[in-house]
Amino acid sequence: MDHKMSRSPWVIHYDGSSCNGCDIEVLASLTPLFDAERFGVVNTGNPKHADIFLVTGSVNAQNLPVVRQIYSQMLEPKCVVACGICACSGGVFRDAYNVIGGVDRAIPVDVYAPGCAIRPETVIDAIVEACGILDQKEAVMRAGGDPLTVGGAATWDGGVELGEDGFVAVTGAGDTPAGTPAAPVAAKEAE
């Protein structure tokens, strides 16, 4: 496997609904002090240029379509890194009425990087980890395969779907622990 992809990981950073602790650390890892550019990391701010999607904070009904749209506008091969425990699983906000869950409720996540807040070293480590997956995906693509068979997408359950009203539909399945109670409460509020 060559390393054409992994030598130039360009990232895009999106703040879901974090307390900003992880955002500060993600940006810190890109500053001269931690110098992520050593690995070729460039913060593009544009999904069409980016290879790695860094998401901080948990997913809720408001930002779920945004996360999905940004992800859909990134071109394969691409990777998603959930930065911080909220992005991984919802963290301490997991049971909050408005929190659906971690980023994997919206899009497939390739690398889970825990921490509250995440440490810059962890961010860089996660990016390097994601680089390996990028290379694997590229190899699969070049062989004519589907990049979705590699990384988080291979085992992803599809996350949650938003209903017509923009809220999580009650499915009865046990895979959206935080999302299930969210809908009725939020709907009530909307009334």
Partner 1 sequence: MTLLYFLTLFPLVPALGMLLVRGDRARDTVGLVGSGIIMAATVVVAVMFFGTGPQSFEVAPGTSHVLSIISSVIDVILCAVILYSAYKYRNALTTVLGVVQLVGSVAFATMTLPAAEAVTATPLYLDYMSVIMVLAVGIVGSLICVYALGYMKDFQAHDEHEAALCGQTAPDRRPQFLALMFLFLSAMFVIVTSDNLEWLFCGWEITTVCSFLMIGYTRTPEAIKNAFTQIILNMLGGIAFLVGLMYLHVNGMPLTISGMLELSGAGTAQSALLVMPVILLSLAALTKAAQMPFHTWLLGAMVAPTPTSALLHSSTMVKAGVFLMVKLSPLYAIYPVTGFMVTSVGAITFLLAALMAISQSNAKRVLAYSTISNLGLISACLGVGAPEAVWAAIFLILFHTVAKSLLFLCVGTAEHHIGSRNIEDMDGMFSRMPHLTRLMMLGIMGMFVAPFGMLVSKWGALVAFAQTGNVLMIMVLAFGSAATFYFWGKWLAKLSGVDPTAQNVEVNVHKTEWVALNTIAALLILCCVAFPVISSGLVSPYLAMVFGRVPYVIGKDAMYLMVVIVAFIAVVLLTSFRVSNKPHVNVYLSGVGTDNYRHFRGSMGHEVKAEKRNWYSEDALGEKRIGPAGSVVCCSIILFALLCCAWIGPERLAMSAPSVLRGKYFEGSGVVGIFIGTVAFALLAPLVGGLIDGVDRKLSARMQGRVGPRLLQPFYDVAKLLRKAPASVNTMDDTYMACALIFTVVGGGIFVSGSNTLLCAFMVTLAAIFVVLASASTQSPFAQVGADRELLQVMSYEPAVLLMSVGLYLATDSFDSIAVTGQSAPIIVYSAPIFLALLAVLTIKLRKSPFDLSYSHHAHQEIVQGVATEMSGGTLAKMTLMHWCETVLFLMWVGMFFVWDNPVSWVVALVVMVATYFVEVLIDNTFARSTWRSCFKLGWGVALVFGLLNLMPILVDVFI
| Residues near partner 1 (CB under 8 A) | 4-5, 7-8, 10, 13-14, 27, 30-33, 35, 37-49, 51, 65-67, 69-70, 72-73, 75-77, 138, 141-142
Taking the least distance from each CB to partner 1, the nearer of 74 and 180 is 74
Smallest gap from residue 5 Cβ to partner 1 (A): 6
Smallest gap from residue 60 Cβ to partner 1 (A): 14
Smallest gap from residue 140 Cβ to partner 1 (A): 12
Taking the least distance from each CB to partner 1, the nearer of 98 and 181 is 98
Residue with tokens 């539909």: 169
Smallest gap from residue 33 Cβ to partner 1 (A): 8
Taking the least distance from each CB to partner 1, the nearer of 67 and 111 is 67
